[in-house]
Amino acid sequence: MTNRPGLPLIAILLASGCATFVRAQTTIDGGMLALRSSGSASGSAWRLNSNGYVGAYVTLDSPGDVTISVQAAGQSAGGVAPRMNIAVGDSRASFDVAAGLSTYQHTFSLPTGVHFIRTDFSNDADKSSRSLTVGSLSVSGAQVTNVGSDALALAAANTYIETGRKGHALLSLVGVEPGAQVHVELRNHAFSFGTAAANPAFDADFWAVNPPPGSTAEKYQQFIRSHFNMLVPENAGKWSANEATPDVVNMATNDAIVAFAKLNGMRFRQHNLLWSNDAGSPGWVNALISQAVSGSATAKSDLLAEINERIAYYVGDGAGLARAQDYFELDVLNEGLHEGEFRAIFGDAGLAGIFNNVGAAAHAAGADVKLYLNEYNLLQFSDNPLTPGFVPDNYANWYREHGEVIESAGGQVDGYGVQYYALLDGNANANSPHSAARMQQVFQNLSLTGKPFGLTEFGVQNYGSPSGVAVADALEDTMRMVFGSPSATAFNMWGFWTGAIWSQAALGALVDANWNLTPAGLRYEELMNEWNTDLMLTADENGAVEFSGFFGDYDVTVGGRAYPLSLTKGQTDYQLVVDLAADFDNDHDIDVDDLSAWNSRFGAASGGHGELSGADYLLWQRQFGAFAAAASPTAAAALPEPGSAAAALCALAAALLLKRRSAAGSASLLTIAAVREPLISWRSVTGCSRSPQTVN
């Protein structure tokens, strides 16, 4: 069941059988917690023998403080105690847990809605004898639900979307008159919604600049512009496409996709440096892989040399080539456990070295790119590929541990890519159904690493005959769970057009062969409209507007002119300079020099050019500290705190005013009096320790 917009939370929980709550403090023994990623029972407690978590859901009918108490005991190893985190949304409290049961407590201020509480153990990547025993979990201030369900998972995701993906903004519009109309429109989400960029053999002009109107390439490019803000090369970034012949490098299509992304203000996620699948590496590389797996030391050495050569042209060579400057994420190792040849050849320490070589090349290239692992079968058929018989693991611990082991060996792993090709036919997925609850389990498990993850490949497998509504529902569930997960950074369709999409993902296409929206495409557009911010506001008496919007880049249009604004998490106050009318010295800021300029031009001969009045002084007061940047946070420099600089400004202002009085006599006061506006903002503007005054 999905939490569709407008469906009341209580109705959702009733439908899922989860509406029995305890409103007073609730205590649950660790061994009774329904959601446990790993570990084993220890009496009534639960013992995490390595990294993992336990958790439950809480519900608030109104915003409030929720106190979470965990009775826990730790077993140290190597002189290091287990690190326990209590995490809710973006907030986390951390504790080093000592031996013997003790209570560890933190109070979170939470908004209305459903939240997932995760108590995790996070500093045992090397699987030492270190452990964390959770005796009990107590919650006061919220209703507790100790079950896992699709409805609860989706409700928690929706709560985070509304409270964690959005922020409140107080936008000061310098130079805007009260009552002015202000259009605030989200132009580019901070979150990445992307698609795999195809390079089909039947249409070599997919990435042509200015393709003919009405052509396939033009329609393809236009849909991308209107529906996504991130691109990932489907095949153009694979070794097999880049170097089919040794030392003959062809990055033309990849570079064309990069150019398109840059031209259209989109992010580019690179896929992939290494993939030992036959389709991912050219034949000559596959031959080296085969020989190295068989034990050839020469082949292993040659293969590593070729990998380093690939890093040089793919990431950067330190001598001019710097492609990684255009990447924001990079799949270094694709399907490294299911296609395990590289791990078999180099081991975890060798993989760590490769990751570090990539990181060093990116650093030398001046690139800020996160290095990712990428894997499949986490969200369905999540069997551990490293165990005989593929032991089921509904939390995908094996994947999290894959990254942790590489890190323990000294490697730089910055994030986790998750592939999901949903099977919706009942016979095909009877043992592993599409499930928001399972997504929650896996996503929380990856999140305890403190690193981001992305749903890097989404499609619906071309198996059976699920209805269009079922496909759309699966798409919506997945998008909500990803966008509603605090650690997630991206959701990526693995193709969107029926005419150019991997066959095993084809049922998830957003448009059919004739460019008509499918049910999934219609649902995708509904979600993008739901997660949009487009507001017409009215400036208040101070020329400011307030709004709540999704984080990202905005166009703020005032008087027919658009100004850029970036709404970012953790920032509330913003300033947008629309008109620096008090820039009397024309240096693009408002400071003490403008007061001096006002003084020199105050009360000039009647009709004289450039005469300034008391009204201009009031304008200087209001705009003091502003500067002609398109949009900027109102930091201390914009609104100074009391101090020596402010005191100096007070002295200068007072001296200038006194000088004008002595030179112009009563005429100066009459000019100011004509304004008929009280000077009540002196302290707020300058920080001067002076009582507000009214001149009348």
Give residue 16's pLDDT.
44
Tell me the average pLDDT of the chain.
86
What tokens does 277 get?
């699948």
| pLDDT band, residue 690 (cuts 50/70/90) | very low
Per residue in 294-333, pLDDT tens?
999 999 999 999 999 999 999 999 899 999 999 999 999 9
Q: What is the CATH number of domain 255-274+291-530?
A: 3.20.20.80
Is the peptide bond between 272 and the residue preceding it cis, with omega within 30 degrees of 0? yes
Say yes or no to pLDDT of 609 above 60. Answer: no
Say yes or no to pLDDT of 143 above 90. Answer: yes
Say yes or no to pLDDT of 602 above 50. Answer: yes
Give residue 203's pLDDT.
58
Among residues 67, 63, 85, the alpha carbon closest in space to that of 25 is found at: 67
Per residue in 383-392, pLDDT tens?
888 887 777 8
Instruction: Record the pTM.
Output: 0.85
Per-residue DSSP letters for 352-410?
HHHHHHHHHHHHHTT---EEEEEESSSSSS-B-TTSTT--B-TT-HHHHHHHHHHHHTT
Per residue in 54-77, pLDDT tens?
999 999 999 999 999 999 999 999
Among residues 648, 624, 621, the alpha carbon closest in space to that of 638 is found at: 624
DSSP three-state, residue 62? coil
Say yes or no to pLDDT of 512 above 90. Answer: yes
CA-based radius of gyration for the chain: 30
Across the range 255-271, mean pLDDT stands at 97
Q: What is the CATH number of domain 9-164?
A: 2.60.120.260
Distances 483 to 461, 492, 493, 590, 657 between C-alpha atoms, Å: 22, 11, 14, 41, 57
Evaluate whether 138 touches 26 at the Cβ level (below 8 Å).
Answer: yes
Across the range 23-34, mean pLDDT stands at 90
Q: Centre a 10 Å sphere on the Cβ of residue 32 and count the other Cβ atoms it contains.
A: 17
Across the range 109-113, mean pLDDT stands at 98
Highest mean predicted confidence (pLDDT) among 219-233, 589-603, 681-695: 219-233
Q: Give me the amino acid identity at 383.
A: D
Per residue in 194-204, pLDDT tens?
999 998 766 56
Percentages helix, strand, coil for the chain (3-state, rounded to 5) are: 30, 30, 40
Q: Are strands 181-189 and 131-140 parallel, antiparallel or unpaired?
A: unpaired
Say yes or no to pLDDT of 669 above 60. Answer: no
* Cβ-Cβ contacts under 8 Å for 443 (sequence gap 6 or more): 453, 481, 482, 485, 487, 488
Give residue 15's pLDDT.
43
Give residue 142's pLDDT.
97
Instruction: State what percent of residues in the chain have pLDDT above 90.
Output: 72
Q: Is 59 left (phi over 0), alpha (psi -120 to 50) or beta?
A: beta
Give residue 678's pLDDT.
27
| pLDDT band, residue 501 (cuts 50/70/90) | very high
Total residues belonging to the chain? 696
- Of 177-191, 219-233, 496-510, 600-614, least confident by mean pLDDT is 600-614
Across the range 549-574, mean pLDDT stands at 96
Q: Is 280 left (phi over 0), alpha (psi -120 to 50) or beta?
A: alpha
d(CA 141, CA 158): 21
Give residue 631's pLDDT.
43
Q: Residues 596-613, buried b or exposed e (16+ Cβ, 10 A)?
A: ebbbebbbeeeeeeeebb
Domain ranges of the chain: 9-164, 255-274+291-530, 585-696
Say yes or no to pLDDT of 424 above 70. Answer: yes
| pLDDT band, residue 6 (cuts 50/70/90) | very low
Q: Centre a 10 Å sphere on the Cβ of residue 335 and count the other Cβ atoms it contains.
A: 23
Distances 229 to 121, 191, 197, 494 between C-alpha atoms, Å: 35, 9, 12, 14
Across the range 44-50, mean pLDDT stands at 97
Among residues 273, 408, 434, 264, the alpha carbon closest in space to that of 347 is found at: 408
Burial of 515 (0-12, 13-18, 19+ CB in 10 A): middle
Say yes or no to pLDDT of 574 above 70. Answer: yes
Q: Centre a 10 Å sphere on the Cβ of residue 511 and count the other Cβ atoms it contains.
A: 21
23 vs 232, residue with greater confidence: 232
Give residue 19's pLDDT.
41
